[in-house]
Every structure is written in structure tokens, then in C-alpha cells.
Structure 1
Amino acid sequence: MSVRTLPLVFINLGGEMLYILDQRLRAFNTSEDNSEKGVWSENDRKRVMNDIVGTLFSKSFMDELLKPQQLYSHRTMKTVLTRLAHTSIMRLNPASMDRLYELMIMAFKHQVFLCPRPKDLLLISYNHIDTIKEFVKDTPVVVNQVNETHRKIIEVYSSLSEGEFQLLRQTLLIFCQDMNIRVSLFLKIKIQNPNGRFAMTTAGPVPHGIDVPGLIRTFDSKGREVRRREFPNGGSYTSPIREGSFELHGDRVIRLGVNMYTADHPEETHTTKTPSVKPNDTPNLLAKEELNLLARLMGSVKAVNMPGAEPGFRINLFNTDQEEDEAGASAGAGESLFGVINIQAMQDEQVATELALIAGQFAEKEEESENQSANKGDELLAMMDDL
């Protein structure tokens, strides 16, 4: 597992979150003043963008992220990103936050798949950073924070070898492999199958600096080519056009890390669950305690209701409030649908004792790993509260 993955994950997921929030805020936009209750104005949208970007790209927060460390679990990552989204006057209920996180993960997963070579992962981050700067271009202080982070990313990752980038890519693929959420936009342009898995083509340009597959060359001890043999590559590959990559899908060009959402297509933020059950949904007492600790450290978002405090706004990732309530109710009901069936069979007492000892060792290692992840998450959340 690469210890340089966390900064890229936060920047790219944070960028996707800002894309989606910007699209939804523009869809509900009204007049310049906030004359209609519950509807966002243009000034509200800009303020939300400035608050979230300012917190995400703050110097202390980025310095902590850039330290070599293991990647967080999905539970911890969603908790920190939820706290990040709530640093502004905007509020998301759990059902909308779940949908937002699913959209972020699936968009990032697809972009990782589109990278023809591991080093192109940096192109995703650079494109996210460039688009984020456009969101806050009217606030020079926040733009300077983004530029400073851009400089640090180049400084840290430009010295990594090809092998380290490959390890980084494998870490990202492991992080995303169990997320197979169906997204309406991806289904519409036929880059995602009905089961939630992406349809990868076996055609197009190969990575920059790489030869088209299909040829095996044999060399002697002096480096001279002595034999050449061709083999079917199973696709229709061409030489690279230029450094970088993109894929054509119908009338769209999906580039690495570029905002694919528009205010004219609010349905493109629609997701549906696949029938498969993700391993992360398995009840875990240690994970529950970890989330309870993080929640206590984050503090209560009810502070907006204090006397004299500015009222917050609520944003809905669903088309209607009724749909949002139904999604939250179904999520809560889904947890109770799965019962626990205990099956006990006759077995040798000595074997059972040995298995219990082995299971105890695994439990100790798992608890130690989760405690380390929780401690790192606690530090970032405490830092957000200070900011």
C-alpha cells in the first residue's frame, strides 16, 4: 500500500464534491438577493465554494495530509468529507451525503480507469485544482491557498519513480474496487454496465511513450535483435497522439478530472444501488466506536441554531424532499432486513481452541490498525474545528 495516496484522494474527491454542489446550487439559484426562503442565491453559492475550498486547501490541513500515511477507510473518509462540507452555511442530511459520496467515488474511480499510465493520476489532480480555482477566482486569498497546494503537490510527486506511481494506482484501485454504484450519466453514455461496473474499451491510443502491443522482440547478449514475432493483442490500439489522455463517448469528451456536470442536467447526479452488498456494510463494533469518537470530536452542527448565529441552508441531492425522505427510510430499513444466523456444528475441542487463538490475534491486529486510522482521522477533524 502506498503512503502517498491520501492527498490525491482528498483533492480529487473534494474536487468532485465541489463540482456536484456547484451544479446543484446553480440549479436552485434564484435572484441576487435571498428573497425566497430555502432557495440559494448566487452570493450563497460563492460563499459555500469559498468556505469549503478555504478549509480544504488551508496550509495546516494540507501539511497534515502530505505526511506519509496509510489511506483511510470509506467510513472515515466520508466522515471527514461530511465535516468538510459542513464548514460552510450549507447542510446535508445523511441520505443526501450518502448520495454525494457515491457520486464522488464513482466519478473518481472512472477517472482512475481512464489513466493509460500510473503517472497520469497527477493529471486528474491538476485538472481538479484548475477548476477549483475558477470557483474561487473572485477571492485572491483562497486562490493563493490553492496555488500553494498545487506547488506542494508538484514538489512531492514529481520525484516519485514509475514503480511508486504504480503502487499508488494499485492502492487507489483497491480503495474503489467494491464501489459499483450505478450513475445515470454513466449509464446514459454507455460507459457503465447495469451491474455498476465500468465498460472498458480495448481500443484507442496507448500511453505516451509506449509502443502498440502485438510484437515480441528477442535480443542476444550483445543487445542485437535476433528474432521478432507478432501476437494478437485482442484490441484495436493506435500510437499516442500526445501526452495526456481522453476518451470519446458519443457527443461527450470525458477528460481526466474535468467537471462533467452542468446545471441543465440535474438528473445526472442520480445514483442507484446495485444488488451486491459491499463488505464495508458488515456491522463492526470497533468501527461504530470509531465513528462515535469522530462525531464527538467534530462537535455539533446545531451551533447554527444558537441565538445570534446566522441560519444555515439545506441542500437536497434528490429531486424532491419526498424522494430524499424515502431514501433515508429505505436505508434505515435495509439495516434491519439482514438478520444474524448462528450455525454451530460438532467439532474437535483442540481445533476450536487453536482457531480461537488465531482469531484473537487477528482481532488484536485489526483493533490496532483501526485505532491508528481513527487517531489520524481525529487529528484532521480537530484541525478542521480550529479552522
Structure 2
Amino acid sequence: MSHFATPFIVVNLGCEMIYVIEQRLKTQNIPLDKSEKVLTDIVTVLLHPKLLEELFIPQPVATHAVIKQLLQDISATSIMRLDDYSMGKLWDLMTMIFKWQLSVATNQNIFDISRRHLRSVNKLMPENYAKSIFDNALRKFESLSNMFTDDDYNGLCNTLILWFSEYHTKISVLLRLGLQKKDGTFSLPSTINTVILKNLGENIYKYDSKKSEEYESCCIETSEISYLLGSMEKVGSSKQNSVKLNLPIDLGNDMLLNKIIKIDNTIEETNITAQIKNKCNNDLTYNAKLPSTPQQDLVKMLSDTFLDG
């Protein structure tokens, strides 16, 4: 079992989480200031150098429950909140898409997928976001790649495949793109669009241009969506400048089992108080003073991505 699997799981699943959130923000026409604030808050904590430093410590792979809770805590650092039901749906989506990527990748591709995830998320961020955060994360993976032997690659690949082996949910976006069959199994690489296959880790939603009635009819009913909206936490616009995260660290020391780190989630390298963008001939101004939380709009369409198997 590889002792380097945890950062791959956390970072890649975290990037897939960003893809989903960004897609829902756009679909629901969330105001630009709120959208950028949500992405900025989550990415700043997910890729914070202090957190990555801990994750890249050689360690037994963290459990599913621990990593799920860690990512839920990271998502909660923004003005958005997801209850357990919502996070469960999001978790299924993240894990299945990354599992699919691993299923069609070579051992060395795991690093390529991670780099592509980071670079693709970087493109989603505001122009004035501190790019040094992404540079640091990329250097972490690059350093690890340079020290890996063939046995290390094999061990990492086997550990990741085993870790994701318990997930079997059918995902509508994978079905629509022909990446997953109706029985839940993944399509063979030889049958997949080569453009998608050569860009594993990119935002898969950019390839998803249509939704068939067959798949739409299998999505969660409207009543369940209403329940989801009603069960969400109501969070004000105020936000603390630091967050505390429980770490998935276990180095044989009982004192580290519940290790907590405190992360400063402010960005000193860049000014995020006033940015003007032109989009569709409309000037949209980024204002750091946010109104009420957008989470009720954010997850309305989350269930459209799932087919429960």
C-alpha cells in the first residue's frame, strides 16, 4: 500500500468538487461576486500550503469517512453550506468521476491527471487570484513524481484503485458521454472519445452539451429537490479569517489521530475588493461585501447529475 495516496485523493476530489460547484453557479445564474467568492474561499483552503504540507507527509491512506469529512469542512469555509444529504450526492459524483479517470489511466497518468485538475481549476478562478497557490501545489506533485520509482507508481495506482473500489453509483454525465454503461460499469478506453481520453482531469462538463429525456426522467423528483433546498443551513455573509481542519494523519502516534490545524484563509498577495469584468456586454463588478448566501440556488440542480444505482 502506498503511503502517498492521501494527497492525490484529497486534491483530485477537491478539484472535482470545484468543477461541480462552478457549474452549478453558472447554471443557476448566481451573481459574479458571489460565484467568485465561493470559489476563492474553497480553493484557498483546499490548496493552502499549510494543509498540503500535512497531506504530503508519508502516511497510510486516510479512510473514506475522514476524507469525506475533510472535504465537507473545506466546502463549508465559503458562504455556501451543504447538509449531509447534499454532500452525499456531491461525494458520489466526485468519487465516481475520479474513479473513472483512474480506470482508463496508466500509472504515470495519475500525476498528469492531478496536474490537469489543478491547471483547469486555476482557469476558473478570478484573474486577480493568487496563482502562487497553484504553483506550490504543482511543485508538490512534481517533486513527488521525480522521486518515484516504478514500484512506487504501481503501489500508488493499486492503492487508489482499491480505495475507490467500493463506489458503483451511476452518474448521468458519464452515461451521456458514453463513459459509463447502464449497468454501472465503465466503457473500455478504445470506445471513448480520444479528446476526452487525452485530457483526463479536465472539467468534464465542457464536453456535456445535451441531456436526453431518458436520463432526465431518472433524476431525483422535484419534491426531493424542494426538500434539499429546505434542509440547507442558512449562513450569513460574515466569514472568519481562519478555519480549523481535522487532518487525516496517522503516523502511529495516538496524539496525531485528532490533529487539527488552523489555516488563515485570507489572500494577502492579491487585492480582491474591486475587479471589473465584461461578460455578455454587461459590466459586472466584484464586491467583497457579499449579500445573503447563494447555497439555496447552488444545489438546486445538483441531483440532475446523478442516477442512483
User: Normalising by the residue count of structure 2, what TM-score does the alignment of the two structures yield?
Assistant: 0.70
Counting only pairs closer than 5 Å after superposition, residues 300-311 of structure 1 correspond to structure 2 as none
1:322 aligns with 2:249: no
SS of residue matched to 1:23: helix
Amino acid at match of 2:28: F
SS of residue matched to 1:383: strand
Amino acid at match of 1:323: I
Structure-2 residue corresponding to 1:213: none
Instruction: Output one character per residue of 1:112-165: Cα deviation in whole Å (capped at 9) or x when no partner.
Output: 0111x2011101001001011112242342x11111111121012221011110
Instruction: Output one character per residue of 1:294-324: Cα deviation in whole Å (capped at 9) or x when no partner.
Output: xxxxxxxxxxxxxxxxxxxxxxx97856336
| C-alpha distance in structure 2 between counterparts of 1:19 and 1:258, whole Å | 9
Instruction: Output one character per residue of 1:309-361: Cα deviation in whole Å (capped at 9) or x when no partner.
Output: xxxxxxxx9785633637999xxxxxxxxxxxxxxxxxxxxxxxxxxxxxxxx
Question: Which consecutive aligned stretches of 4+ in structure 1 deviate over 3 angstroms post-superposition?
Answer: 262-267, 270-273, 317-322, 326-329, 369-378, 382-387
Structure-2 residue corresponding to 1:107: 97
Structure-2 residue corresponding to 1:261: 205
SS of residue matched to 2:196: strand
Q: Given that residues 19 and 203 in structure 2 are in contact (C-alpha distance below 8 angstroms), is that contact kept between their aligned partners in structure 1? A: yes
Q: Given that residues 23 and 266 in structure 1 are in contact (C-alpha distance below 8 angstroms), is that contact kept between their aligned partners in structure 2? A: no
Amino acid at match of 1:17: M
Structure-2 residue corresponding to 1:244: none
SS of residue matched to 2:68: helix
Q: Given that residues 16 and 104 in structure 1 are in contact (C-alpha distance below 8 angstroms), is that contact kept between their aligned partners in structure 2? A: yes
2:193 corresponds to which of 248, 262, 282: 248
1:130 aligns with 2:74: no
| C-alpha distance in structure 2 between counterparts of 1:49 and 1:199, whole Å | 32
Alpha carbons of 1:271 and 1:55: their partners in 2 closer, same or farther (altered >3 Å)? farther
Alpha carbons of 1:166 and 1:99: their partners in 2 closer, same or farther (altered >3 Å)? same
SS of residue matched to 1:194: coil
Alpha carbons of 1:271 and 1:70: their partners in 2 closer, same or farther (altered >3 Å)? farther
Alpha carbons of 1:190 and 1:386: their partners in 2 closer, same or farther (altered >3 Å)? closer
Counting only pairs closer than 5 Å after superposition, residues 11-22 of structure 1 correspond to structure 2 as 11-22=11-22
Alpha carbons of 1:155 and 1:86: their partners in 2 closer, same or farther (altered >3 Å)? same
RMSD, aligned α-carbons: 3.5
Shift, 1:65, TM fit: 0.6
| C-alpha distance in structure 1 between counterparts of 2:17 and 2:254, whole Å | 23
For structure 2, the residue ranges without an aligned partner over 5 or more in a row are 232-248, 267-309
Amino acid at match of 1:383: K
Q: Given that residues 116 and 200 in structure 2 are in contact (C-alpha distance below 8 angstroms), is that contact kept between their aligned partners in structure 1? A: yes
Alpha carbons of 1:138 and 1:122: their partners in 2 closer, same or farther (altered >3 Å)? same
Greater length-normalized contact order (CA 8 Å, ≥ 6 residues apart) = 2
| C-alpha distance in structure 1 between counterparts of 2:99 and 2:45, whole Å | 24
Structure-2 residue corresponding to 1:121: 110
Alpha carbons of 1:154 and 1:371: their partners in 2 closer, same or farther (altered >3 Å)? closer
Q: Given that residues 181 and 272 in structure 1 are in contact (C-alpha distance below 8 angstroms), is that contact kept between their aligned partners in structure 2? A: no
| C-alpha distance in structure 1 between counterparts of 2:211 and 2:69, whole Å | 25
1:148 aligns with 2:92: no
Structure-2 residue corresponding to 1:46: 36
Structure-2 residue corresponding to 1:339: none
Instruction: Output one character per residue of 1:205-235: Cα deviation in whole Å (capped at 9) or x when no partner.
Output: xxxxxxxxxxxxxxxxxxxxxxxxxxxxxxx
| C-alpha distance in structure 1 between counterparts of 2:251 and 2:2, whole Å | 19
Alpha carbons of 1:318 and 1:95: their partners in 2 closer, same or farther (altered >3 Å)? farther
Q: Greater CA radius of gyration, 1 or 2?
A: 1
Q: Given that residues 95 and 167 in structure 2 are in contact (C-alpha distance below 8 angstroms), is that contact kept between their aligned partners in structure 1? A: yes
Percent sequence identity is 24
For structure 1, the residue ranges without an aligned partner over 5 or more in a row are 30-39, 205-246, 274-316, 330-368
Structure-1 residue corresponding to 2:234: none
| C-alpha distance in structure 1 between counterparts of 2:153 and 2:173, whole Å | 29
Q: Given that residues 59 and 250 in structure 2 are in contact (C-alpha distance below 8 angstroms), is that contact kept between their aligned partners in structure 1? A: no
Structure-1 residue corresponding to 2:259: 379
SS of residue matched to 2:25: helix
1:23 aligns with 2:59: no
Structure-1 residue corresponding to 2:284: none
